[in-house]
Structure 1
Amino acid sequence: MKNGICKLCDLEKELKRSHVIGRAVFKKALKGANHALRFDKQHNKVVKDQDQWATYMLCGECEHKLNKKYEDYSLNILRNRMKSVKHKKRNYHYEIQGVDQKKLMLYLLSIMWRGIESNHEVFKKLKIFDESPVAKNFLKESVKNERIFLTECFDLRISKLVSLIAPFNEMDLDFITDIYCNIDKKQRIRFLTIFEGYCFEFFFLTDKSQFLTGLGVLKKNKSILKMPYIDIFSIPEFQKSLSEMLESQNQH
């Protein structure tokens, strides 16, 4: 048991070990195993890891709120477990019909916010938001009040993972990566993570000309989400991680 100030309600309470990406996601990705393989950059080797990136961050009430308000709905949507929602495999895009995109956006914003507030080493690259309290606070207020603020400052995009060079099925593509960060060609700050067979991107915008358009961009008032297919091996961040792991394996 640990007492402290809850990051969301700002009250002193007993804190729970909070997952940035939920325990349910890890449980599904691990497929019953009690560990995952992770590349340890410090020691340049692949290790077995039981860490699910949880830290003391939220009180029980706030943890329950985020799970029930955002995670439960969003995972059921992404996993095609709601009768009112239809998943369609089109030739040139993947489509989800009947989705509340506002809830899905709040779920992804809650992951970003938790990552920013987490003191786990996996999310240390998100500490750049410590230099931008406006961005940090709008994420918190959105998550706390179930409202999306400052939509002119960010875009969210989801892509459906496929493999064009190997016969992987959907379960093979169900794994988790940490959050990558880079500056793209339009000078947007871009964060990327992969889980549940999808690629999620958060773009922090510094200029109105940087808005995203096209497939996969979430719009809070839309109920049909059309996502581009993306080859897992075409994602530069994934390519780099895979190369590092393979190189490490060859050295040991």
Structure 2
Amino acid sequence: MRGICKLCGIDRELRNSHAIPDSIFNVIFKENSGKAILLTVDGRKIDYTSDSLDTKQLCDICEKKLNHSYEKYSINLLRNSYRNVSKESEGINFSEVDVEKFMKFILAIYWRAAVSEHESYRGAVMHEELLYKNGAEKLRLCLLENSKIPASLFSVKIRRLRDLSGSFSLQTLKNLIVTPFHRPYGKDEKVSVNFVIEGFYISVIMPALSDKERRKDMVLYAKGNQFTAGYVDALSIPELKETIRVMGLKIRMGHSNVGS
């Protein structure tokens, strides 16, 4: 299928593109007989699915660009392939890393979800202030040109999910995919778009936090070389807790059942 690539804007043959990387789905599919547990929070929907939520979105050149520039490095980072991760009392510490590259990986997932036509990504909204400031176009150019992140527009935060009730194993949390949902952030009308991959709860905050807020909230710093993914109880996140309760998802150490 030919069409206009959403990243480079050129009329080319389009590939089956994935906002949440296909490599994340593939590992889960392999471990779970070709199925993943997909939580669509805004629609209060839970499915076992073999759908990797792909749409015709990017050309082959741009797919390879995002994979080479951001995705491969960042997924290996989350999977501890570089051996630069340590468990601390407050969370998982990543040291000697390219934080800017990792942030662009997160922002690429958000941007691709925001411009996707797949219904599962309708929760990837953009703050009104960013729409006024042409934030989507600025982010597109940042990803296309591998240029500086528009720091006044976006902040990125990452936390490691855990379950204090003992109902969820870490492996089960890693096998959950939660598609983007949004909520207010803080007291000054900011918004966060949130999703779950690889057992991490990730937030893109708009507009960006101030330096003081960033330090307080453990937000990633593009010029840094380390960050900490603080622990967060999965059931302390209202949207996840409510979705699990409403849909009757029961998870017991390594296997999952939908319904009760």
TM-score of the superposition, structure 1-length normalised?
A: 0.88
Once the two structures are superposed, the pairs formed by residues 1-252 of structure 1 within 5 Å of their partners are 2-30=1-29, 31-38=31-38, 46-82=46-82, 85-128=83-126, 131-132=131-132, 134-166=134-166, 168-174=168-174, 175-186=176-187, 187-205=189-207, 211-214=213-216, 216-246=218-248, 249-250=259-260
CA distance in structure 2 between the partners assigned to 1:124 and 1:114 by the alignment: 11
SS of equivalent residue, structure 1 residue 179: strand
Q: TM-score under structure 2 normalisation?
A: 0.85
Deviation per residue, 1:51-77 (Å, 9 max, x gap) = 211100000110011111111000111
Number of aligned residues: 247
8 Å CA contact 1:189, 1:203 repeated in 2? yes
Q: Which 5+ residue runs of structure 2 have no aligned equivalent?
A: 250-257
| Residue 168 of structure 1, CA deviation | 4.0
Amino acid at match of 1:20: A
The alpha carbon displacement at 1:178 in A equals: 0.5
* Cα deviation 1:11-58 (Å, max 9, x = unaligned): 111000100000111122332422234468999875432221110000
Distance 1:65 1:43, change over 3 A: closer
Relative to structure 1, the CA distance from residue 209 to residue 189 in structure 2 (aligned partners, 3 Å threshold; closer, same or farther) is farther
Question: 1:207 and 1:218, CA in 2 relative to 1: closer, same or farther beyond 3 A?
Answer: closer
Q: Distance in 2 between matches of 1:78 and 1:6?
A: 28
Contact 1:46–1:249 (Cα < 8 Å) also in 2: no
For 1:220 and 1:195, locate their aligned partners in 2 and report how far apart those are by CA, in whole Å: 21
> What secondary structure, in the 3-state scheme, does the structure 1 residue paired with 2:165 have?
coil
Quote the Cα distance in structure 2 between the aligned partners of 1:236 and 1:11: 41
Of 182-191 and 199-208, more deviation after overlay is shown by: 199-208
Q: Aligned partners of 1:158, 1:45: CA distance in 2, in Å?
A: 24
**Per-residue deviation, residues 148-190 of structure 1 (Å, max 9, x unmatched):** 3320222100111111111644312102101010112322111
Give the distance between the partners of 1:244 and 1:204, measured in 2 at CA. 29
Q: What's the secondary structure of 1:66's corresponding residue?
A: helix
Q: How far apart, CA to CA, are the structure 2 residues paired with 1:227 and 1:41?
A: 22
Provide the C-alpha distance between the structure 1 equivalents of 2:59 and 2:132, rounded to a whole number of angstroms. Answer: 25
User: Aligned partners of 1:156, 1:42: CA distance in 2, in Å?
Assistant: 21
Return 5+ residue gaps in structure 1 as ranges.
Answer: none
Q: Distance in 2 between matches of 1:58 and 1:167?
A: 39
CA distance in 2, matches of 1:110, 1:7: 12
- Give the counterpart letter for 1:182 in structure 2: R
